[in-house]
Amino acid sequence: MVVLTPEEYARVEAQAVAEYPSECCGVVLDRPEPPLERILMPCRNMQNELHAKDPVRHPRDARTAYYIDPADLIAIGRREAQGFRVLTIYHSHIDTGAYFSPTDKRNALVNGEPAYPDATYVVLSVMEGRVVEAGAFRWDPAAGDFIAFDWKRPQS
């Protein structure tokens, strides 16, 4: 399975740099049945708006968290209804490493189970406006956790 094609990776990296110092987010979907199709869907991080509206409930801003706009979630759901599946979920970390944080894990789970057990999660580290690292993580049912795996990021 291809996590991100070189063209997709270049677009994700460009998005991460453009949205710095906020975290970026998005998904890659594919339709495995004819007509075969693959879509990279950048999403809008609305964490700053949530934080401004209710800083008690949303103490983090977009520099340290992401919240996919519900309109984007609806668009993803529509694609799933058309036979697409979520292959890759990506986001960036700002001025820190490309790791799968406890918050990332909590947000990826629903009642202790992954919302997308077959998806790969890609995290890009953006330091001072430049992508310096990318990590990939998959759900391991035996470990009950998201585990990093060897992934060579495409050259952009």
pLDDT digits (tens, 9 = 90+) for 111-135: 999 999 999 999 999 999 999 999 9
What number is the average pLDDT over the span 65-79? 97
Structural domain includes residue 73? yes
Q: What is the pLDDT of residue 156?
A: 56
Asked whether residue 66 is domain-assigned, the answer is yes
Confidence of residue 44 (pLDDT cuts 50, 70, 90): very high
Question: Residue 1: inside a domain, yes or no?
Answer: no
Burial of 69 (0-12, 13-18, 19+ CB in 10 A): middle
pLDDT, tens only, 144-155 = 999 999 887 776
The CATH number of residue 37's host domain is 3.40.140.10
Q: Average pLDDT of the chain?
A: 95
- Domains contained in the chain, number: 1
Tokens of 102: 């406890």
Burial class (CB in 10 A: 0-12, 13-18, 19+), 70: exposed
The mean per-residue pLDDT over the stretch 65-73 comes to 97
Domain ranges, residue 75? 6-148
State the pLDDT at residue 151: 82
